[in-house]
Amino acid sequence: MNQIKKQVKHPLDDLLRIDRIPHIWCPGCGIGTAFSSCLIAMRESGIDLEKTVMVSGIGCSGRGAGYVNLDSYHTTHGRAIPFATGMKLANPELNVVVFSGDGDLFAIGGNHFIHAARRNVDLTVICVNNFNYGMTGGQVAATTPNMAKTTTTPLGNPDTPFNLPLLAYASGATYVARWTILHTRDLTESIEEALLNRGFSFIEVLSPCPVNYGRRNKENGIDSLKIYQERTIIRNDAQPWELDIDFDRGIVLGKFIQTERPTCTDRYDNTCRPKELIEGEKGLE
């Protein structure tokens, strides 16, 4: 009995608000896996967790902030990144992680994403891409594949989805990767790298939404995982413009970009602050 009791504690319990479990995510949903990878990476990276903040927007993935036992902010729809920008610039000592969904970050929040990447604000942005708006019942998103069915595209999505790594790269992100929730080890390592990368880091995590997206596209939870296993290829050297998601030709995963560039705060300090003020602060350290 004692042994069983000991096993009741999950290895991530310390990082979870246990009193808020069970979570709201549906059976078969991939967000929990992406979230776990994120928590493991936070712990393994060695960053000071007392100085680490999770910021989310609105949506299924946006609920992430509510379950992490760190300082956590669940903001308005699409606004996690500008909120996080203000927080990071006001206190550069904080490690600010944005954990949110594709609808939140790239439709309503798309403008904020490109500008934070352009400025190279030192944030880690993890986007769980489940190809639709899950929380509201499965509407078309900026990431929904062409011709996929959703409640607001009952005959198929006439539009083209974003290539998110290309968007991040073109906007100026200094770390860009894409994984699926099946590639948990790669994903966790990648999040760890992103947390340690000084600058705007972006990771797209492909994730099944069997209840909303899968149901309307003849793809159950297991089918999604099979696709992630059989129709993905890891190519770290792939060019960002080769990363359109095409389930027939295969989806390219990997760490595509890792580069150094002065951060928003670096540039601000060097450009706008009086020299004696920066040197004075260094002297104090």
Partner 1 sequence: MKPAVLTGEHFMTGDVACAEGALAAGCRFFGGYPITPATEVAEHIAGRLPEVGGTFIQMEDEIAAMASIIGASCAGVKSMTSTSGPGFSLMMENIGLAICTETPCVVVNVQRAGPSTGLPTQGAQGDMMQARWGSHGHYDIIALAPSSPQEIFYLTIEAFNLSETYRLPVLIMTDEMIGHISERVVIPEAKKIKTVSRPRPKGRKDRFKPFEPGANGVAPMASAGEGYHIHVTGLTHDERGYPVMTVETQKAMMAQIMGKIQRNLDDIIRTEAYRLEDAEVVIVSYGVSARTSLAAVDEARDQGIKAGLLRLITVWPFPEALIRNLAKKVKGFVTVEINLGQIHLEVERCAAGKVPSFLVGHPGGTIITPERVVEALKESF
List the one residue from 82, 134, 165, 210 that touches partner 1 (CB under 8 A): 82
User: How many amino acids of this chain bind partner 1 (CB under 8 A)?
Assistant: 40
Spatial distance between the Cα atoms of 91 and 94, rounded to a whole number of angstroms: 6
Q: Across the strands, what pairs with 202? A: 125, 176
Does the protein bind partner 1 through residue 23 (CB under 8 A)? no
- The verdict on 18 binding partner 1 (CB under 8 A) reads no
Q: If binding is defined by CB under 8 A, does position 125 make contact with partner 1?
A: no
Using rule CB under 8 A, residue 89 touches partner 1? yes
Which residue is it, tokens 């992406």?
34
Binding residue (CB under 8 A) for partner 1 from 43, 74, 198, 235: 74
Query: DSSP character for 153?
Result: B
Cα torsion 216, 221, 226, 229: sign: positive
Q: Which of 36, 45, 85, 171 binds partner 1 (CB under 8 A)?
A: 85
- Of 165, 159, 167, the C-alpha closest to 141 is 159
In this complex, which beta carbon is closest to partner 1, that of residue 54 or of residue 177? 54
Which CB atom, from 7 or from 271, has the smaller least distance to partner 1? 271
Write each residue from 49 to 68 as x if it is in contact with partner 1 (CB under 8 A), else as -, in one continuous string.
-xx-x-x---------xx--
Burial of 74-105, coded b for 16+ CB within 10 Å and e otherwise, reads bbebbbbbbbbbebbbeeeebbbbbbbbbbbb
Determine if the peptide bond prior to 22 is cis (ω within 30°): yes
Q: In terms of DSSP bridges, do strands 175-180 and 251-258 run parallel, antiparallel, or are they unpaired?
A: antiparallel
Q: Please list, in sequence order, all residues whose beta carbon lies within 8 angstroms of the beta carbon of residue 7, skipping any fewer than 6 positions away.
A: none
Q: Kindly state whether residue 165 participates in binding partner 1, applying the rule CB under 8 A.
A: no
Q: What count of other Cβ atoms lies within 10 Å of the Cβ of residue 278?
A: 12
- Measured from the CB atom, the residue of 53 and 209 that comes closer to partner 1 is 53
Any contact of residue 69 with partner 1 (CB under 8 A)?
yes
Q: Cβ closer to partner 1: 72 or 212?
A: 72
The one among 10, 20, 215, 261 contacting partner 1 by CB under 8 A: 20
Measured between alpha carbons, how far is 125 from 201 in angstroms, rounded to an integer?
A: 6
d(CA 144, CA 110): 15
> Which residues face 99 on adjacent strands?
126
Q: Closest distance between partner 1 and the C-beta of residue 133, in Å?
A: 18
Select the residue interacting with partner 1 from 28, 32, 43, 79 (CB under 8 A).
Answer: 79
Out of 36, 45, 75, 224, the only residue in the binding site for partner 1 (CB under 8 A) is: 75
| Residue 112 sits in the site that holds partner 1 (CB under 8 A) | yes
Of the candidate residues 274, 275, 282, 284, the single one contacting partner 1 (CB under 8 A): 274
Q: What residues make contact with partner 1 under the rule CB under 8 A?
A: 17, 19-20, 50-51, 53, 55, 65-66, 69-76, 79, 82-91, 93-94, 111-112, 115, 264, 268, 272-274, 277, 280
